[in-house]
Structure 1
């Protein structure tokens, strides 16, 4: 039976500029010889549908909802994603620079994949920037690792069930006026850390080789470069053009009642 991989990619607003390099480098280096299909959530008309690229129109929701609502986005096409063996999300600014096999990335007999955050691999747990508010569904009291939101995925059905759970937690918090400190990343960390003892045997943890920030020098082999977004788009401007979280919440509830 042919292995099928679904790749989830979000590039609303100016982020579309990363797509070409992401796609070309993935086709060259990532899971060579394995059937891959890209699901691109975008408001851009510059990305073209093809035999292995499906475009899902996604409005630009602004900061932080373009990232906070990623699980909701994925669930929009959950029925189609269930037909894949594995699904994986990668940040828009990722660029593959070395060959990566199926076992390298997903491990052996593992159901989930996450990555060690390149900024925290050598930090004490007390420095991890978990959500500390006990009222939040993303609350972590004592964690094990700090995982970036830039890579997440695994067995299609298992990951989609996690997306459902995290989407519920996000909505629960929003209804109580809470946005977790690092948005979708905080909820991902909460799931993996709060359930770590139960899922650790099914979790494949990648090193920072797979999210190696551009311009950094850390003791890992470079597999996937995380390009410096500020060199390509005005990140500060994107964030500053949006109102405070309280007023954004009112707007988003009108869009998603």
Structure 2
């Protein structure tokens, strides 16, 4: 019988030999030193309108499920760097200014952040004033003939750059879409060993409504009777070694499908959902951390819109629809 590892952090993993041992990084759960904060009360639920913990005991992060002062106190005393990747290819360079400027206002404030901008037009990367301890690296990538190909290549490119440089430069990494902007705090409460984000259009649905890859011949295949949540590929992250393992496996699966002339229904997002089904995230972020402005007003369970996809004409920015 084949068994699947649910708690990856407790399983022995073989990591690419070319990646040396990383420096010690903090646990998912930290212990603040003499921080002043309100007493947590075990008998009074902070949220009773949403699921706040998964069946495998990973926290789901919503407003009022954490104390921001406690979290900030714990992490700001640590010597950590968060890598953050974005791809700005073709007309998507127009979104970089908003992404970077709002990130500098709301994203991981007070922590060291290293942005990695992958683009085919390095001269179009805007100059943005960065806070102390934050920097941008620009990496030139080719512009492919199909926007789907850009999506499919993302896992390969991230894997390669983690292997070559990022593993020496950061402790955690978030991989984000560029056609987004920050609106409110996105802090270290989001850090974890392996982190996924609930898709804003699917978090209310049952698994039979999820747009998983349903063809058995694809390596991204998920049967109708399986699946936990539907995760959006616009954001995923975790410790660098864990995200390397994720991107490596997704890259391998994408190549296997391509060898059979297959392309999963939602490209790398389909493979990401397969990966998270078989390698459970240790932390899940609510749709507060990945909203879609096309949905209009916020439902009652979304107390704060922290990060969202901007409204745009996709046909206009996808030059090769």
TM-score class, shorter: 0.7 to 0.9
TM-score (norm 2): 0.68
1: distance between equivalents of 2:298 and 2:268?
A: 25
Per the alignment, residue 165 of structure 2 pairs with 80
Q: Is the 8 A contact 1:113 1:154 kept in 2?
A: yes
Q: Within 5 A, what are the aligned runs for 1:46-195?
A: 46-47=124-125, 52-61=135-144, 62-78=146-162, 79-83=164-168, 84-103=170-189, 105-106=190-191, 110-141=192-223, 142-195=226-279
Q: Is the 8 A contact 1:140 1:194 kept in 2?
A: no
CA–CA separation in structure 2 for the residues paired with 1:166 and 1:116: 19
* Distance in structure 1 (CA, Å) of the matches to 2:182 and 2:250: 28
Is 1:225 the equivalent of 2:308?
Answer: yes
Unaligned runs of 5+ in 1: 241-257
**1:143–1:194 Cα contact (<8 Å) kept:** no
Q: Deviations over 1:24-67 (max 9, x none)?
A: 11111011010001101101121158871111101111220111
The alignment's TM-score, normalised by the length of structure 1, stands at 0.84
Contact 2:82 2:114 in 1 (8 A): yes
Root mean square deviation of aligned Cα: 1.7
The size of the alignment, in residue pairs, is 229
Structure with larger Rg: 2
Paired position in structure 2 for 1:6: 83
Structure number with the higher helix fraction is 1
Gaps of 5+ in 2: 1-77, 129-133
Q: SS at the partner of 1:149?
A: strand
* Pairwise CA distance, 1:5: 0.5
DSSP 3-state at the match of 1:150:
strand
User: Which has the larger displacement, 181-190 or 39-48?
Assistant: 39-48
- Alignment deviations for residues 78-114 of structure 1 (CA, whole Å, 9 cap, x no partner): 22111211011111111111122201x22xxx30111
Q: 1:123 is paired with a residue of what secondary structure?
A: coil
Confirm or deny: 8 A CA contact 2:90 2:319 kept in the other structure.
no
- Aligned pair partner of 2:114 in 32, 37, 41: 37
Partner residue of 1:248?
none
1:214 positional shift: 1.4
Matched residues in 2 for 1:131 and 1:228: separation?
A: 26
Deviation at 1:230, TM superposition (A): 1.2
2:147 is paired with a residue whose SS is coil
- In the alignment, the residues of structure 1 paired with residue 85 and residue 212 of structure 2 have an alpha-carbon distance, to the nearest angstrom, of 25
Tell me, yes or no, if the aligned pair for 1:49 and 1:55 is still in contact at 8 Å. no
Is 1:204 aligned to residue 289 of structure 2? no
